[in-house]
Amino acid sequence: MERVGVGLLGYGTVGSGVGTLLRDCADDISLATGKQVYLAKVLELPGFSHPDLDAGLVVHDVGEILADPEIQIVVELIGGVDAALEFERAALQAGKHVVTANKQLIAQHGAELFDVAEQSGAHLRFEASCAGAIPVIKALRESLAAAQVDTIFGIVNGTTNYVMSAMSDTGAPYDEVLKKAQELGFAEADPTEDVSGKDAAAKMAILSSIGFHSRTTLADVPYEGITGITAADIAHATSYGYVIKLLGVAKLIDERVNVRVYPAFVPMDHPLASVGGAYNAVFLESRHFDKIMLYGPGAGSIPTASAVIGDIIGVVTTAAGGFVRNCTCYRDLAFFPHADMVSSFYVRLQVTDKPGVLGQITPILGEEGVSVRSMWQSGRDDTAELVLLLHPAREAAVTASLERIAALECVQGEPTTIRVEGEEPR
Amino acid sequence: MERVGVGLLGYGTVGSGVGTLLRDCADDISLATGKQVYLAKVLELPGFSHPDLDAGLVVHDVGEILADPEIQIVVELIGGVDAALEFERAALQAGKHVVTANKQLIAQHGAELFDVAEQSGAHLRFEASCAGAIPVIKALRESLAAAQVDTIFGIVNGTTNYVMSAMSDTGAPYDEVLKKAQELGFAEADPTEDVSGKDAAAKMAILSSIGFHSRTTLADVPYEGITGITAADIAHATSYGYVIKLLGVAKLIDERVNVRVYPAFVPMDHPLASVGGAYNAVFLESRHFDKIMLYGPGAGSIPTASAVIGDIIGVVTTAAGGFVRNCTCYRDLAFFPHADMVSSFYVRLQVTDKPGVLGQITPILGEEGVSVRSMWQSGRDDTAELVLLLHPAREAAVTASLERIAALECVQGEPTTIRVEGEEPR
């Protein structure tokens, strides 16, 4: 049986999972591919040590992996952008196929890597970069290749979904829940990339690129995170019948692309509202099939490794025939301006608690063409909290209103704004 | 650009959808495949006429399609088993790739067709045979090929789900709801294959074969339908906090396979409970990824045609490399005996309304080792209705109890039994 060596770059959470599955599923993989796929070498990064790993497998110079003729597939799981880009580029140039979970690299340097892969006839696969074990990239790239998908939205970051779910369930504040999540392993020691929305933005850039066949990079995806969400926002959401979720939303509007990441009020009876813990769920919409939802674990060692193994099997079976298709961005669509998007908003303001405040605020909304759907005010001491739910309006109008409102003497600090999504029965 | 002709057998609901998509998505398909895929010929069956179809495309002899060298792909959508088997076999022998939505054919004659395809180096693809537009077969066959899936269960028949949902929503009896479903196009004029569970059984045979890598045919899948479900059962389900859904359930137990189709009580807070109308949802479970759910339209012209188009694109792109893998049943697992399955049951009995009835029934359950979780009785005239929810027990024990109970003089007619599924938090 032909042997196919795998070179693993990085042996952290996902890397060790890939090692485990290559060993535990060796029989299934060889039955599925007709080849013996085995872990040939592991690049251990400076400062890390893995005593559980067979010392004969460990190398400290990526060159040893690139020069090994038995290694046909390089699995890059070191993350980050700089070294990973260099390693993936070198591997592709050396004619190795590359499988990766590195969403930031694909979202920021995908075009370059696809070009290099194209030139050397190598595969570049990245199912594990989005939504963990859920095969959403394969579904979009292959099954729905001509299905004219026009909306991709959902929960694509497990850490923030864990935090939002726990804040909803317990009423505890953000900092406390985040600390707990770190203790339980649901958030990293430095959670910035997750809680800022940058991780979700990279994933949405990738899904948008594939779903709409037009390149979207991280730079094209504005993102808001969850760090500003307070227990008060959660409580207001609950009282109005919503939960707050960090959503990725990609839309094709008049043949233009709009992709963003933001926390949103989601109605409690919407399927996304019940996606708890570190699970992910992605809705795909198209006039061909109405809607398809894919749900599953969005992170974790073995689930993410399972997606890597799926890609390895895909490479091994497809490479046998010599057919390679990496980039599917055969369109070059413009972007739809964010200011022209129409959205509903929840707005929370601190105002001086005295008569006439509403009389100053509501005319501004009216002048900008923004109408109020519901309003709630409660005073404490000299300060009142004013909560507004706005009807859908052009975001530019909402932004202009809020700038004018924030400048009022009776308004203290900056307004908190959170979009409302999923209102229409989907 | 190379041209790839498609020969379509049958031009009914799905066939006309395929015709529409081949025309409307021609650009996307050629951008995705690098080839011009076009509808070359349509086999019109005796007794049918399609005036909307370009007369130049219509043929009445399948031989004209098989002999056309431009036709590389035959799409079989006539359904049924006999003629379809003959046509698919002939197409594969002629070296054509075959794409089909015919679940009964694959579930009953898959092994033979895979052999023929293997010999001629042709692809045989059948994504549209299960769960309409949802790419569950591709996910199982490719992404999760080595993921050691051990449970596949869900709602895989749109007609019965429509009927069950409508019975729950309206309280109307089965016959009335079915008639309405037929008027609305959600049920066929002869709905037997759907309402009997046979359609779902064929789909579960296919999903089980792929998921567990071991052949399961229709004959291996006992099925119960929904024709015996009464408004009373629905009302009892509601009062206990359940909905009734027709489920397909495939399990790998101690390396043995058990696949069945039956109506089941599903807790109202289970994700499957909220799958309404003609939608389908399939849960896949594995120790690698816990659970993945795929949800989407289970039927309909364009959604099902969308799955056919996905297969056509897959064949065109993969065939270019010459790599063919059809059958993935590389194991030969035994079947787990149905009598040894452990299940919870809802039981509804008509009993004579006089003292001592329970005193006759409950000892029998105790003797057979079946314990009662809850019981409800209401009398009307001389007859009382007795409803039991049983704790999980070996099905052989439940069957034995109920046979003894049915033989009691105080019990009228046959007991109604419906399994309870999804109790554990999944």
Q: Following DSSP, what letter does each residue of B366-381 receive, concatenated?
A: HHTT--EEEEEEEEET
Residue A349 CA to residue A377 CA, distance in Å, equals 9
Among B31, B135, B292, select the one facing A295 at the smallest CB separation: B292
3-state secondary structure at position B88: helix
B149-155 and B242-253 strand pairing:
antiparallel
* Chain A residues lying within 8 Å of B288, measured CB to CB: 21, 133, 302-303, 305-306
CA distance A294 to chain B (A): 5
C-beta separation of A273 from A266 below 8 A = yes
Q: Give the distance, in angstroms, between the CA of residue A241 and the centroid of all CA atoms in the same chain.
A: 25
**What is the pLDDT, as a whole number, of residue B314?**
92
Yes or no: domain A338-420 corresponds to CATH 3.30.70.260: yes
Contacts of A295 (CB under 8 A, 6+ apart): A134, A275, A279, A280, A281, A282, B271, B292, B293, B294, B295
C-beta separation of A271 from B275 below 8 A = no
According to DSSP, the residues that pair with B250 across neighbouring strands are: B152, B259
Pick one of 3.10.20.30, 3.30.1360.10, 1.10.645.10, 3.30.360.10 as the CATH number of B142-297: 3.30.360.10
DSSP track, A15-68: HHHHHHHHHHTHHHHHHHHSSEEEEEEEEPPTT---TTS-GGGEES-HHHHHT-
* Chain B residues lying within 8 Å of A296, measured CB to CB: 289-293
Extract the tokens encoding B149: 């899936």
CB contact, 8 Å: B2 with chain A?
A: no
- Give CATH 3.40.50.720 domain extents, chain B: 3-132+301-319
Question: Which residue, B190, B199, B258, B257, is CA-closest to B225?
Answer: B199
CA distance A329 to chain B (A): 9
The tokens 């066929």 sit on which residue?
A: B188
The tokens 């070009």 sit on which residue?
A: A115
C-beta separation of A107 from A206 below 8 A = yes
Residue B106 CA to residue B110 CA, distance in Å, equals 4
CB contact, 8 Å: A131 with chain B?
A: no
CB contact, 8 Å: A314 with chain B?
A: yes
According to DSSP, the residues that pair with A290 across neighbouring strands are: A286
State the count of interchain CB pairs (< 8 A) between A and B: 178
**What is the pLDDT, as a whole number, of residue B130?**
97
Extract the tokens encoding A54: 């067979």
Extract the tokens encoding B112: 């033979």
**What is the pLDDT, as a whole number, of residue A374?**
94
Catalytic residue among A96, A198, A203, A245: A203
- Give CATH 3.30.360.10 domain extents, chain A: 143-297
Query: CATH assignment of B341-420?
Result: 3.30.70.260
Which chain B residue's Cα is nearest to A292? B296
Which chain A residue's Cα is nearest to B317? A323
Pick one of 3.30.360.10, 3.40.50.300, 3.40.50.850, 2.60.40.10 as the CATH number of A143-297: 3.30.360.10
CA distance A152 to chain B (A): 14
Q: What residue type is assigned to position B236 of the chain? A: H
Residue A234 CA to residue A244 CA, distance in Å, equals 7
CA distance B67 to chain A (A): 27
Report the residue of A4, A35, A292 to disrupt the B interface, i.e. the one with the largest count of B CBs within 10 Å.
A292
CA distance A352 to chain B (A): 43
Residue A373: count other Cβ atoms within 10 Å of its Cβ.
14
Residue B251 is among the residues annotated as catalytic for this protein? no
Per-residue confidence in pLDDT tens, chain A, 426 aa: 899 999 999 999 999 999 999 999 999 999 989 899 999 999 999 888 888 899 999 999 999 999 999 999 999 999 999 999 999 999 999 999 999 999 999 999 999 999 999 999 999 999 999 999 999 999 999 999 999 999 999 999 999 999 999 999 999 999 999 999 999 888 999 999 999 999 999 999 999 999 999 999 999 999 999 999 999 999 999 999 999 999 999 999 999 999 999 999 999 989 899 999 999 999 999 999 999 999 999 989 999 999 999 999 999 988 665 567 789 999 999 999 999 999 999 999 999 988 888 899 999 999 999 999 999 988 777 889 999 999 999 999 999 999 999 999 999 999 999 999 988 633
The tokens 């006439």 sit on which residue?
A: A356
Residue B291 CA to residue B287 CA, distance in Å, equals 8
CB contact, 8 Å: A274 with chain B?
A: yes
SS3 content of chain A, % helix, strand, coil (to 5): 40, 30, 30
Per-residue confidence in pLDDT tens, chain B, 426 aa: 899 999 999 999 999 999 999 999 999 999 989 899 999 999 999 888 888 899 999 999 999 999 999 999 999 999 999 999 999 999 999 999 999 999 999 999 999 999 999 999 999 999 999 999 999 999 999 999 999 999 999 999 999 999 999 999 999 999 999 999 999 888 999 999 999 999 999 999 999 999 999 999 999 999 999 999 999 999 999 999 999 999 999 999 999 999 999 999 999 989 899 999 999 999 999 999 999 999 999 989 999 999 999 999 999 988 665 567 789 999 999 999 999 999 999 999 999 988 888 899 999 999 999 999 999 988 777 889 999 999 999 999 999 999 999 999 999 999 999 999 988 633
* Chain A residues lying within 8 Å of B306, measured CB to CB: 144, 147, 286, 288-289
* Chain A residues lying within 8 Å of B147, measured CB to CB: 25, 133, 306, 309-310
Report the residue of A31, A143, A149 to disrupt the B interface, i.e. the one with the largest count of B CBs within 10 Å.
A143
Catalytic residue among B203, B245, B251, B291: B203
CB contact, 8 Å: A25 with chain B?
A: yes
**What is the pLDDT, as a whole number, of residue B426?**
34
* Chain B residues lying within 8 Å of A25, measured CB to CB: 146-148
Assigned CATH topology for domain A3-132+301-319? Rossmann fold (3.40.50)
- Give CATH 3.30.70.260 domain extents, chain B: 341-420
C-beta separation of A407 from A252 below 8 A = no
